[in-house]
Amino acid sequence: MKKLTSLILICLTLSALLCGCGEKAEEPKEYIGIISAMDNEIDLLLKEATIDRVDTVADVRYHVGTLRGQPVVITRSGIGKIRASSGVTTMLLNYPISKVIFTGIAGGVADEARVLDEIIATRLVEHDYGILSNDGFAWRSGDPGFGNEPGAYYECDPQLIELAYASAVEVVGEEHVFKGTVATGDQFIANTEYVQKLRADYDAYACEMEGAAAAVVCIKYDTPFIVIRSLSDKADGNAHESYENFGDIAAEHSSRIVLKMLDALEK
């Protein structure tokens, strides 16, 4: 009987040890969410990261792991406001995200900003939100004081703005980094006249297709966010050619700024 009891105890001990070996490692309490529209905008980040798993939600892949010692969730949402807002919403609903970094490329609007310069968004605006009548298009200003009405300006997190700016200066030099408004709309802008309008109406430094949509979601979920844009073109008549020549380089610059930001954060 004693031998049987000992044997049972040994089996139970071995079973407990085996179960313990199979337990999942404790996941971080919070992740940094990194999102972009296109593959080339996150290629470098994924190469540098240690990916523990890839979750697929609604045909979008969320890469969960660590990057420069920071717990991260990295995803490519797809191009445009709908896909960006869907990607950020899914990320915030499925993972404990402490902050969101939207990284990628854009068209330059400000005269002083050149191709491959960096724009750190201080605020974002939906330039294509408004009323189209026989008198033309009228942008709806919304209520800037409230901050998340359509047509309003969506303010980025002040601390993330300064962190992104300092990191960008380290990567490309101070003379190539600007802080300012980024205008978002569901068009690839390649029109000099419209570029001038974006500058005049919104004091925009860059135009792209996702940032404001991501900002709206982050504001609604009370999550700090920043948008970092590297200029691949000047959004003028030569925009397509410039994008083809400089798109990948601009995307890599933007990714290197994100790496610098992660290095600067507390581990």
Report the distance separating Cα 118 and Cα 108, nearest Å.
9
The answer to whether residue 64 sits within a structural domain is yes
The answer to whether residue 8 sits within a structural domain is no
Q: Which residue range forms the structural domain that includes residue 71?
A: 28-264
Which residue is listed with tokens 């031998």? 3
Span 147-157, average pLDDT: 74
Report the distance separating Cα 129 and Cα 149, nearest Å.
11
CA distances in angstroms from 113 to 79, 133, 158, 233, listed in the order given: 23, 33, 22, 10
The answer to whether residue 36 sits within a structural domain is yes
Domain total of the chain: 1
Rg of the chain, C-alpha, whole Å: 22
Strands 204-208 and 118-126 come out as unpaired
Q: Where are the beta strands (DSSP E) in 90-146?
A: 97-108, 118-126, 130-133, 136-139
Catalytic status, residue 41: yes
Mean pLDDT check: name the lowest of 23-32, 108-117, 172-181, 211-220. Answer: 23-32
Residue 232 confidence (pLDDT) above 50: yes
CATH number for the domain that contains residue 237 = 3.40.50.1580
Check residue 142 and give its pLDDT. 52
Higher pLDDT, 40 or 98: 98
Q: For the CA atoms of 40, 248, 242, 115, what is the dihedral angle to 10 degrees?
A: 110
Check residue 41 and give its pLDDT. 85
Higher pLDDT, 22 or 230: 230
Span 210-217, average pLDDT: 95
The answer to whether residue 4 sits within a structural domain is no
The answer to whether residue 33 sits within a structural domain is yes
Residue 192 confidence (pLDDT) above 90: no
Catalytic residue among 41, 117, 126, 208: 41
Check residue 171 and give its pLDDT. 94
Catalytic residue among 117, 126, 208, 233: 233
Mean pLDDT check: name the lowest of 112-116, 141-145, 201-205. Answer: 141-145
The answer to whether residue 9 sits within a structural domain is no
